[in-house]
Amino acid sequence: MSDLDRAIEQLRACRLIPESQVRELCYKARELLIEEGNVVSVDAPVTICGDIHGQFHDLMELFRVGGDVPDTNYLFMGDFVDRGFYSLESFLLLLCLKVRYPDRITLIRGNHESRQITTVYGFYDECIRKYGSANVWRYCCEVFDYLALGAIVLGASSELEPTSSTVNDTAQSNLAIADSELETEVLDSRGHVTMSTYRPRQRSSSDASTDSRNISPPRDISAAPGQVAAPSRSGAPGTGASSDGNGSAVTSRTGAVLCVHGGLSPLIDSVDKIRLIDRKQEVPHEGAMCDLLWSDPDEIEGWGLSPRGAGFLFGGDIVKQFNHLNGLSLVARAHQLVMEGYKEMFDGGIVTVWSAPNYCYRCGNVAAILELGEDASGGGTVARSNGEFGRSNGISGDNRVVSPGRRYRVFEAAAQDTRGMPAKKPVADYFL
Amino acid sequence: MNGLAIRVMSTVDTPTAHVFTQPIKKIHESQDVSAFLTSKAYTDIMTWILQLNRSMFPLKLPDNTTQAWVINSDAIQYSAPIRQLQRLLLKLEDIIQEVPPDTGPRRFGNISFRRWCEVVDSRASDLLKECLPAELLQTGSSQGEGVTAEAELKAYLMGSWGSGQRLDYGTGHELSFLAFLGGIWKLNGFPKADPGVEERAIVIGVIHPYLDLIRKLIKTYNLEPAGSHGVWGLDDHSFAPYIFGSAQLSPAISESDLTPEEGSLLNAPDPGGVAKANIVERERQTNLYFAAIGFIYDVKRGPFWEHSPMLFDISGIRAGWGKINKVGVLNLDGRYWWANRQQGMVKMYNAEVLSKFPVVQHFPFGSLFSWDRDPNAIPPPSTVHTTSGPQARPVAPDQGMPSVAATRPMPGAGTQAPWAKSGSVGQTSLPGATAAPWAGTGRAGAPGSSTNSSTRTLPIIPDTSRMPPGAMAPTRAP
């Protein structure tokens, strides 16, 4: 068993590894991360996760519900640290898994992966308390600077494979009439389907309209529905940084999914602009990089000031336009607590995924992860464009991309009896 | 007794000649915190808290028995102003009935709290008039600009209830309520009495019900902890009950004794009791510290040592409640509580509340709590705290920026930027919602690479904190 495997085993047991090993781990992680672009390309199938915030036992529950690494391909959208008691254990485990299985787990940066934020919201204090110095905090912060800013999921299927477990209602499958496909499905932590939606199978230019057959999803339908006029684009496509298929805008039948911690930026109108950022630095107080990690969607038109004091609020029109211009079907982001664990907004153009159940021990929320399946319809190959919008759809002339099938697994906080025994009561010598 | 100053907060000498000013914010960036720490307001606030703290220590009676000051104690007499303040709190509580929580979809904080704040705001003047004598409130109307005492008091009263915009509540709001009470004190709104008599009535009779009302607001409207550090803070919302509650359980003293620095009241519960639900349930009925712990039990799920590690560690202190309370000299020798020795709740309050930009940035300064420099204050050395704290957010360049819609309310449960200083992004931020430290800005700023040891020194005011009220002290006696 390698040192790395041993470290993984130890961290899975919620026990810290020695400082020297952290240093080595962080060094290796940096070497790995420096090779990644600002926007990592990830192939479906993938399981997308939101904020963790040091809730180690709940992270273990997440792996139980979503499958273990490397069996499941994971994408974590940042905010691994701060506020929770086990930021170190959580982040170091994820980092070990990243170094051990670099192609099976993707970590992108959240606004809490920052020196300034971690000194305010707990991670710094945790490092001091658990290691007795700021060294480990410093090593981790150096890793933060190398984390990617976003990811593009390619090749997701528009249709979900029906879950084998339809224990709850056999009627479910009857609803999946021949001309419909399963679009979204919500499962509880035991794998039981609690909600599903279908949409008509469509191959022509007709818009994909969602046919909700079940309980209405916690989807926000209050956004102004009107069609947003997409500005016609004649110039260079937004994506073309690479011609080998790694370009961001991928318009197979199912559009690509952009994953980012916070949201959009008024300074970023194409995914390629993200690629141009010099990311290897502390998160700035403003600018594109800051916005990607700090912004929030909101029921407004256009852009608004964020009450957070960093990033912006952006409305449904902004999302629709951004998705359209970039051949995206969905923006997946984290950054905001949602009581149901996930929340789709703006006709499903953006989703918030939150993976820290009963946040801060008191919020009473459930957590969710989002699974995107692999599109097998094309015989394993995914039609990819260079992002020049409209070309890949050939003759249809239909600019509309279809959203991926989305399977949400919802879970609650880990049972308390799964926790280790209380640590030996620390000596409060600072009160001596 | 010796004549060291500031035992009791000074009052306004000649109210009729006093010029009141509309309180306004003075702390705009993290550097301003050092000016605050040498201001008259800071001295007054610390003096006021120490004065209240002192009053909560059990009293040795001439017959060698001990009088402890428990919640609902018959031994505490409530003067008319105290009773009026209690009525004020009841009226505010009644407003909750008028504004039930919204049942519609929401992310976390309940939007109806905004309405509750509006109702309170619209009635604030009337509520004050019912609560305090007209001649007190109208003091100053014939002076200068005609700003009245009411204007100053109202500013602190209205700052006491949390942020309607962000749907959160934190120690900055608690501080505002302490200042509201302190303002009434300064205006001689409480009757003359022996040392400690009115003070302990204020703590038990007003501050405790205030905290209860706050807890009800938090639960009713799901208010978020402003600026929560998650498990890495003392408490999500409050600080005052830990100060006064630890004093309640400290050794008994006579009026001329120094305030004890260790030991406990005879038969006081063991500090370790905070981790035992049955003990908490019993003690929360009589003690402010346990009442606060009890609220944590009410709202949090999970092992106590895990969700409240600071309080858990404090519970391991063997030198008693006096040690937990210990005020000590007021200069701090370290920010990091875990690594450095800070002593006791009051010092911690000084470091974690009064010295934190995000907490104090919204504190308004008028004539009662004055931004003027305290001539006796010793200026704090340039420190990590004041130098590496986040700066004001640079002005966004027009170029390339979108037109920005009106500021939207904080949608709850998010991190605020510690540097954020816009609008009323207030005291601190939330559990779900992180604020940018630089926005309004910075709780302690990022320790730069050279500052990891984070030593920081706060101004030193003469350490009279353990001394009983002295003859030389300014008092309310005529």
Q: Choose, from A57, A112, A324, A335, the residue flagged as catalytic.
A: A112
Lowest mean per-residue pLDDT among B51-65, B71-85, B95-109, B268-282: B95-109
Return the higher-pLDDT residue of A402 and A304: A304
Which of B365, B381, B409 corresponds to the end of one domain?
Answer: B365
Confirm whether B405 is domain-assigned.
Answer: no
Task: Return the residue of A nearest to B341 by Cα.
Answer: A430
- Residues of A in Cβ contact (< 8 Å) with B323: 431
A129, B432: Cβ pair inside 8 Å? Answer: no
Q: Does the beta-carbon distance from B419 to A116 stay under 8 Å?
A: yes
C-alpha distances out from residue B437 to A2, B216, B227, B434, B442, Å: 41, 29, 10, 9, 4
Nearest neighbour of B313 by CB, restricted to A134, A360, A426: A426
Residues B117, B30 within the same domain: yes
Judged by average pLDDT, the poorest of A207-221, B225-239, B269-283, B396-410 is B396-410
Pair (B347, B455) in one structural domain: no
Q: Is the pLDDT of residue B150 over 60?
A: yes
Query: Average pLDDT of chain B?
Result: 79
Beta-bridge partner residues of A156: A374
Which residues in chain A touch residue B29, judged by CB atoms under 8 angstroms apart?
none
Which residues of chain A lie closer than 8 angstroms to B229, CB-CB? 82-83, 120-122, 125
Q: Are residues B308 and B446 located together in one domain of the fold? A: no
pTM > 0.95: yes or no: no
Residue-wise pLDDT tens digits, A263-322: 999 999 999 999 999 999 999 999 999 999 999 999 999 999 998 889 999 999 999 999
Look at B402 and A312 and tell me if their CB atoms are within 8 Å.
yes
Test A428 with B299 for CB contact under 8 angstroms.
no
HEC states along chain A? Answer: CCHHHHHHHHHHCCCCCCHHHHHHHHHHHHHHHCCCCCEEEEECCEEEECECCCCHHHHHHHHHHHCCCCCCCEEECCCCCCCCCCHHHHHHHHHHHHHHCCCCEEEECCCCCCHHHHHHHCHHHHHHHHHCCCHHHHHHHHHHCCCECEEEEECECCCCCCCCCCCCCCHHHHHCCCCEEEEEEEECCCCCEEEEEEEECCCCCCCCCCECCCCCCCECCCCCCCCCCCCCCCCCCCCCCCCCCCCCCCECCEEEEEEECCCCCCCCCCHHHHHCCCCCCCCCCCCHHHHHHHCEECCCCCEEECCCCCCEEECHHHHHHHHHHHCEEEEEECCCCCCCCEEEECCCCEEEEECCCCHHHCCCCCEEEEEECECCCCCCCCCCCCCCCCCCCHHHCCCCCECCCEEEEEECCCCHHHCCCCCCCCCCHHHC
Chain A's closest residue to B340, CA to CA, is A430
Interchain contact, B393 vs A285, CB within 8 Å: yes
Q: Percentage of chain B with pLDDT > 70?
A: 75
CB contact under 8 A, A302 and B405: yes
B419, B434, B441, B450: best mutation site toward chain A, by most A Cβ within 10 Å?
A: B434
Verify that B357 and B429 share a domain, yes or no. Answer: no
Residues B439, B323 within the same domain: no
CB contact under 8 A, B416 and A422: no
Measured between beta carbons, the chain B residues lying within 8 angstroms of A429 are 341
Q: What band does A8 get if pLDDT is binned at 50, 70 and 90?
A: very high
With respect to residue B372, please indicate whether it lies within any of the assigned structural domains: no
For residue A324, indicate whether it is catalytic: no
What integer pLDDT is reported at residue B376 of this predicted model? 82
Do both B274 and B160 map to the same domain?
yes
Looking at the structure, tell me whether residues B146 and B27 fall in a common domain: yes
CA B218, B221, B226, B231 dihedral sign is positive
pLDDT of residue A331: 98
The string of DSSP codes covering B411-440 is -SS-EEPSEE-STT--S---SSEEEPTEES
Strands A193-200 and A180-187: antiparallel
Q: What are phi and psi of A409, to 5 degrees?
A: -105, 120
Q: Assign B4 a pLDDT band (cuts: 50, 70, 90).
A: very low
pLDDT for B438 equals: 61
The pLDDT score that the predictor gives to residue A202 is 64
Distance between CA atoms of residues A344 and A289, nearest Å: 24
Task: Compute the average pLDDT of residues B58-86.
Answer: 95
Q: B301 and A115: CB-CB below 8 Å?
A: no
B41 with B190, same domain: the answer is yes
Q: Is A124 on the interface with B (CB under 8 A)?
A: yes
Q: Which of B349, B365, B381 is the C-terminal boundary of a domain?
A: B365
Q: Which long-range contacts (CB under 8 A, 24 or more apart) does A30-35 make?
A: A30/A142, A30/A143, A30/A146, A32/A98, A32/A99, A32/A102, A33/A98, A33/A107, A33/A143, A33/A146, A33/A147, A33/A148, A34/A146, A34/A280
Of A338-347, B18-27, B57-66, B401-410, the least confident: B401-410
Higher pLDDT, B281 or A432: B281
CA atoms within 13 A on the CB side of A183: 21
pLDDT attached to residue B420: 67
Spatial separation of the C-alpha atoms in residues B375 and B40, rounded to whole Å: 8
CA distance B9 to chain A (A): 28
User: Could you tell me which of A72, A126, A137 has the C-alpha nearest to residue A104?
Assistant: A72
The closest of A76, A56, A411 to B302, measured between CA atoms, is: A56
Residue B268, domain member (yes or no): yes
Contact A53 B440 (CB under 8 A): no
Residue A419: its pLDDT value, please? 64
**Taking CB atoms and an 8 Å cutoff, what residues of chain A touch B307?**
85, 360-362
Q: Do B314 and A361 touch (CB under 8 A)?
A: no
CA distances from A312 to B384, B417, B420 (A): 30, 12, 12
Instruction: Flag whether pLDDT at A210 surpasses 70.
Output: no
Q: Is A56 on the interface with B (CB under 8 A)?
A: no
Weakest-pLDDT range from A243-252, A317-326, B328-337, B442-451: B328-337
The Cα A325–Cα A328 span in angstroms is 8
Q: What are phi and psi of A256, to 5 degrees?
A: -75, 160
- In terms of domains, do B447 and B361 share one? no
Q: Touching check for A363 and chain B: CB below 8 Å?
A: yes
What burial class does residue A190 get, using C-beta atoms within 10 Å of its C-beta: 0-12 exposed, 13-18 middle, 19+ buried?
Answer: exposed
Which chain B residue has its CA at the smallest distance from A222's CA?
B105
Please give, rounded to a whole number of angstroms, the shortest distance from the CA of A3 to a CA of chain B.
29
Q: Is the pLDDT of residue B397 over 50?
A: no
Q: Which of B345, B365, B385 is the last residue of a domain?
A: B365
Judged by CB atoms closer than 8 Å, whether chains meet at B107 and A336 is answered as: yes
- Would B247 be classed as within a structural domain? yes
B143 plus B268 within the same structural domain:
yes
State mean pLDDT over B239-251. 95
Residue B264 counted as domain residue:
yes
Domain total for chain B? 2
The answer to the question of residue B381 being in a domain is no
Domain that holds residue B33: 15-365
Residues B190 and B100 in one domain: yes
Q: Which of A128, A148, A120 is nearest to A88 (CA)?
A: A128
Of A111, A306, A432, the CB nearest to B341: A432
Average pLDDT in the B355-384 region?
Answer: 82
Optimal mutation site among A85, A121, A130, interface B, most CBs of chain B within 10 A: A121
Residues B205 and B319 in one domain: yes
B157, part of any domain: yes
Residue-level pLDDT at A164 = 64
pLDDT > 70? residue B301: yes
Instruction: Number of A to B CB contacts under 8 A, please give it.
Output: 273
pLDDT digits (tens, 9 = 90+) for A349-377: 999 999 999 999 998 999 999 999 998 76
pLDDT band at residue A217 using 50, 70 and 90 as cut-offs: very low
Q: Is residue B204 part of a domain?
A: yes
**ipTM entry:** 0.77
pLDDT at A229: 40
Asked if A14 is an interface residue toward chain B (Cβ–Cβ < 8 A), one would say no
* Residue that wins the pLDDT comparison between A390 and A145: A145
